[in-house]
Structure 1
Amino acid sequence: MPVRSTDQILHKAAWLYYTHGLRQDEVAKQLGISRASVAMYLRRARETGIVSISTSTQLFADDVLARELEDTTGLASVWIVPEDRHAMDSAAEMPVVAAAVFLELIKKGDRIGVAWGRTVYHLADVLPYADLQGVTVMQLCGNLGAPYNYRPDQCTTEIARRLNAEGINIYAPLVLGSERLADELRGEPVIREQLAAISDCQLVLYSVGGCESDSHLVRCGALTADEMHALGKAGAGGVIAGQIIDRNGRWMDCAHNRRCISADLDTIRTIPKRMMVVEEDAKFEPLVAAIKGGFVSHLVVTTSMARRLLSRWNEVTDAA
């Protein structure tokens, strides 16, 4: 069964209190909960024995890994989906866990930015119905061709429907035929206001795309395989909301990006909660670039991906 949000909070409270030596009020502030809740979680941790690693369950072992990854990378929260469960494989469990985390992060009156892709679409497909009137779900980037699955408007509309929230779509293509056309369209009042309003978001939800010849941008026709290959040779590291970032997470000054109708990446970095969900092992390097670039604060990954990330950051620390 998926990791429950209360389990994750309980283990994180115990980690901060017993391992880092934070006071209960400091733990409460960091987790955004009351001091009384912290005291309750710590009592439950003692009663169930999870504060003793020798008696910990697999869930706690994964949670220790999550806490170590948070400490090493500076991420606010990491959720790990185990890959060795018999009841459900990680590919099926990932969107269920991610949907639970997503709901947990939403507050009354929030404005939420949503990107696109298979991972986000699968999350939307399993998202429980909720009555979150007063919440607004916004599309982060322009749209793709009609035959393409997992379009930005599909993801935004479905998530808004599941939440009973207001949905705002960007009625513009993701990529224009020329930089001049892209500049002119960004200057249109409706598009300009929609893109500017993204800065008011409290939460964004997305995955990170790869730069392979079969990536989403190539399959949807935004780039040819040769163009993507050339970008890779020039240092491309991943795709955020339809835009190319380099291996250090910086916006690439390239023709594709200059022709994009998408949220300003510097604006996305300033949004308090930046939730990223990554399923595929092939997205390891793009995920590293996204973390380096400041596009992630809350992360949902598999156990193996978390171990690879921890190993990479430890190698960087040792080299320094």
Structure 2
Amino acid sequence: MKTNDDIIYLEKIANISHDYYLTKLSIGEISEKYKLSRYLISRYLDDALEQGLVKITINAPQERNFELEKKFRQLFTIKNIFIIKDSENPSLKNENVIAFAAKHIQSLIENSQVVGMAWGDTVYRVIDAFSAKVKEDLVFTQFIGENMKYKSATGSGRMVEKAAAKYSAQFVTIAGPLYIVNNQARELLKKEPSFNRAGNLIKKLDLIFCGIGTLSSI
């Protein structure tokens, strides 16, 4: 069980790590900010790695199958399609796809201010593979109603919150269910103050990030 001193220490090294890895302050600047020696700052950064507060991953580039991509474009007239070559290690097939998707989606998010999101295991894993960044003018929002999986880590409300945390950004959820049978209830919901912000953001979406639904999702 962690003591209050343990919690304070973890918060301190987390803040120092945030300044070093995300805000890109130098060790000298952090030393000046916290009035601590450079040696202590370096030790705290090492501690953050050991404690698991900071995780560093090196993603080798995933090879694409350009020949197969060309055939798919011609066959299905899809402009943007990416096909990853099979890994020599069968256990890395899914990981390579997730890593490539995360990198590509983050490149699209760089030029976005409002990102609409769905939910699901694949979306969850892609967000997990995101590199942490700071983009405070960014907003993640649902663009369809709540799937009511409040206890699930892959529920729709949790997804926007998880993605926003990767960017120290804002998130907005929709206060309404995915399916509404009553037409009058649907129209009245639009007038609810709690729906206004999400409703306005949906009209300004720069990017929609979602997976492909499966039979189990139905």
Which TM class, normalised by the smaller chain length?
A: 0.5 to 0.7
Give secondary structure in 2 for the equivalent of 1:105.
Answer: helix
Q: CA deviation at 1:132?
A: 1.9
Partner of 1:216: 217
| Rounded Cα–Cα distance in structure 1 between residues aligned with 2:112 and 2:92 | 35
Aligned to 1:253: none
Q: Which residue among 125, 128, 152 is the counterpart of 2:128?
A: 125
Is there any run of 5+ residues in structure 1 with no aligned partner, and where? Answer: 8-58, 218-320
Superposed displacement of residue 109, structure 1? 5.0
In the superposition, the TM-score normalised over structure 2's length comes to: 0.63
Q: CA–CA distance in 2 between the matches of 1:2 and 1:85?
A: 16
Selected match of 2:168 from 164, 167, 170: 164
Instruction: After TM superposition, give the deviation of residue 200 of structure 1 in Å.
Output: 1.2
Deviations 1:50-71 (A, max 9, x none): xxxxxxxxx46x1221233234
Question: 1:3–1:97: 8 Å Cα contact kept in structure 2?
Answer: no
Q: 1:199 to 1:75 in 2, by over 3 A?
A: farther
2:71 and 2:200 map into 1 onto residues whose CA distance is: 36
Select between 123-132 and 171-180 the one with higher mean Cα deviation. Answer: 171-180
1:85 and 2:83 equivalent?
A: no
Instruction: Specify which structure has the higher proportion of strand.
Output: 1
Stretches of structure 2 that go unaligned for 5 or more consecutive residues are 1-57
Asked if residue 142 in structure 1 is aligned to residue 126 in structure 2, the reply is: no
AA aligned opposite 1:185: L
Task: Give the aligned length.
Answer: 160
Q: Do the aligned partners of residues 192 and 131 (structure 1) sit closer, same or farther apart at CA in structure 2, a change above 3 Å counting?
A: closer
Give the CA deviation at 1:168.
1.5
- CA 1:136–1:170 in 2, change beyond 3 Å: closer, same or farther? same
Q: Percent identity?
A: 17
Contact 1:2 1:97 in 2 (8 A): no
Give the greater-gyration-radius structure (CA): 2
Q: Letter of the 2:110 partner, please give it.
A: K
CA shift digits 1:163-183 (9 cap, x unpaired):
222211112222346443233
2:107 — aligned with what? 104
The two structures have a TM-score, normalised by structure 1, of 0.44
Comparing both chains, which one has the higher relative contact order based on Cα–Cα distances under 8 Å and sequence gaps of 6 or more? 1
Q: Which amino acid aligns with 1:150?
A: T
Answer whether contact 1:124 1:158 (CA < 8 A) is retained: yes
Query: Displacement, 1:205?
Result: 0.5
